[in-house]
Amino acid sequence: MAIEVHGVNKSFGTTPVLREVSVDIASGSLTALLGPSGGGKSTLLRVIAGLEQPDTGTVVISGVDATRLSPQRRNVGFVFQHYAAFKHMTVYGNVAFGLEVRKRPKAEVRKRVAELLELVHLEQLADRYPAQLSGGQRQRMALARALAVEPQVLLLDEPFGALDAQVRKELRTWLRRLHDEVHVTTVFVTHDQEEAMDVADEIVVLAGGVVEQVGSPHEVYDNPANPFVMSFLGPVTRLDGHLVRPHDIEVSATEQPGSRAATVVRVVRLGFEVRIETRVDGEDVWAQVTRGSAEHLTLDPGDTVYLRPVSHARTLAAA
Amino acid sequence: MARYPLRAVALLYLLFLLVLPVGLIAWRTFEHGLGPFVTALRSPSAVHAFEVTLSVAVWAVVANTVFGVGAAILLVRHEFPGKRILGALVDLPLAVSPVVVGLALILIYGRFAPVGGWLERHGVQIIFSLPGMVLATVFVSLPLVVRAVVPVLEELGQEQEQAAHTLGASRWQTFRRITIPGIKSALGYGVVLCLARALGEYGALAVVSGRLVGQTQTLTLFVEERFQNFDQPAAFAAATALALIAVLTLLLTRFLRPKD
């Protein structure tokens, strides 16, 4: 295990932020800490980096108890949401910083920085200052800076949070590829479930300072441990007192075994997918079907349809 | 059009308050050309006053820079009991009259006071000599560096420093390579303000220096003493020199003021 967090508690004043948090992160993995704002994910990341001290519990990095080590001695790379660029240094100076404070020979520093700038596609901008870069470029510079010192683990706090949607998508594909190239154990914080599922091998769902579930994107999506995880990771609707994914609801024009009669309220076309909003016994239920099957059904508001979960659907009793 | 009368009032006000007095001093200084001005400033007591002023100001600036940066970091970056008291104490010298500062220092460090007496028996004289004058100047210019640095340090935030720590930088490396460059222009501004204040100090120095001509006389004290002794050319020459230094530091602060 690259990182073992055990029984960590942390409060700010009287507000508990992390409660008995234990997480193991495998070497070489790309893990997402996913959860709503204020769920404690950034605090957990900062505890791993040594930027916050846990009240109780331990943090082991690569087999060494790091709980009382200063951030300076943990050999972790940390990328801040707002980049924390050294404003008075050039891109080159920023990336070289960690090597320079380690008193590495000049020639080695130059070579390593050149390699890293190439890796993050900033080799043309080495002499620029952070103020002259775009958000995405600054974030890549921050990443190169963190990687320069060959950290045992790379920690990213909402790395794409401050970027616009387009750049965000590009950067996350790029991060995935980078990780496949560099293989450093990486943990990133996000509140965006799509981002977590797109990029991570492993997802840790944190809410209210508690680990709700740990698993692969596939596991947490298809086998959520509880209603919270289920509704946080994807769309859900309620049918017969159970939570179901709307794409797991079968819509038919005729009654089927185990189906419920529903009245169509609205049919919304969102490109490829069609959203059918219905009412069942006074409760709103919606189903997501493909355009093909919607056209086949020819639905109009007021029609009666029959709904049931598809046979392989994973449902949870609603809390 | 209320603008023109308003302008006229403002200009007239400044004319009588500032332009005429300073202009008159300059005129009286240079009315017989540059020669008397240079001669007056080259008299032994004037040269000595220059030297005393300079060494008092330099020591005070050094002390206040070190204390100012340290106190600013404490006030912005740390939480501790008594923080608000420290913040209030730093501003105290703005409210206390320099004469009171001088008297207070004599009460502690004077020959017949416990601390001063003990120091005197060990061969250190504070009052009526350079150390006391430095102390008084440090006191009156104490808040200037702190108050210049605090807002910039606040705005700078902690993230760059934390990033430097995670990259393996020690506290000292972080301070030298991240914090200092970040507050550089504010620090320069504070130092120049402090220097200007130190050069122009009169009240506290008048009390603690003992006004010993040729020993503890600074430029401001020299101006006053020459004036009292009807040596107006020397008084005006030194006053003009002080004004010129003030204008110079003012230009420097313009240049160094943190841009927002």
In this predicted structure, the answer to whether residue B257 has a pLDDT above a threshold of 80 is no
* Average confidence (pLDDT) over A18-46: 94
pLDDT, greater one: A181 or A58: A58
In this predicted structure, the answer to whether residue B113 has a pLDDT above a threshold of 50 is yes
Q: What is the pLDDT of residue B97?
A: 93
pLDDT, greater one: A87 or A314: A87
Chain A residues whose C-beta is within 8 A of a chain B C-beta are 49-51, 70-78, 80, 82, 84-88, 97-98, 101-102, 142, 145-146, 148-149
In this predicted structure, the answer to whether residue A76 has a pLDDT above a threshold of 80 is yes
* Average confidence (pLDDT) over A149-153: 92
To the nearest whole Å, the CA of A99 is away from the closest chain B CA by 8
Q: What is the pLDDT of residue A64?
A: 92
Q: What is the pLDDT of residue B260?
A: 47
- ipTM score for this prediction: 0.86
What is the 3 state secondary structure string of chain A?
CCEEEEEEEEEECCEEEEEEEEEEECCCCEEEEECCCCCCHHHHHHHHHCCCCCCEEEEEECCEECCCCCHHHCCEEEECCCCCCCCCCCHHHHHHHHHHHCCCCHHHHHHHHHHHHHHCCCHHHCCCCHHHCCHHHHHHHHHHHHHHCCCCEEEEECCCCCCCHHHHHHHHHHHHHHHHHHCCEEEEEECCHHHHHHHCCEEEEEECCEEEEEECHHHHHHCCCCHHHHHHHCCCEEECCEEECHHHEEEECCCCCCCEEEEEEEEEEECCEEEEEEEECCEEEEEEEEHHHHHHHCCCCCCEEEEEECCCCCCEECC
Task: Determine whether the interchain pair A98/B182 forms a contact, defined as Cβ–Cβ distance below 8 Å.
Answer: no
Q: What is the pLDDT of residue B114?
A: 86
Q: What's the pLDDT tens digit per position in A173-229?
A: 888 998 988 889 999 999 999 999 999 999 999 999 999 999 999 999 999 999 999
To the nearest whole Å, the CA of A197 is away from the closest chain B CA by 28
To the nearest whole Å, the CA of A167 is away from the closest chain B CA by 23
Q: What is the pLDDT of residue A286?
A: 92
Task: Determine whether the interchain pair A149/B168 forms a contact, defined as Cβ–Cβ distance below 8 Å.
Answer: yes
In this predicted structure, the answer to whether residue B201 has a pLDDT above a threshold of 70 is yes
Q: What is the pLDDT of residue B187?
A: 93
* Identity of the residue in B168, B173, B178 whose CB atom sits nearest the CB atom of A86: B178
Per-chain mean pLDDT for chain B? 91
Task: Determine whether the interchain pair B165/A72 forms a contact, defined as Cβ–Cβ distance below 8 Å.
Answer: yes
* Identity of the residue in A71, A87, A88 whose CB atom sits nearest the CB atom of B165: A71
Task: Determine whether the interchain pair A88/B181 forms a contact, defined as Cβ–Cβ distance below 8 Å.
Answer: yes
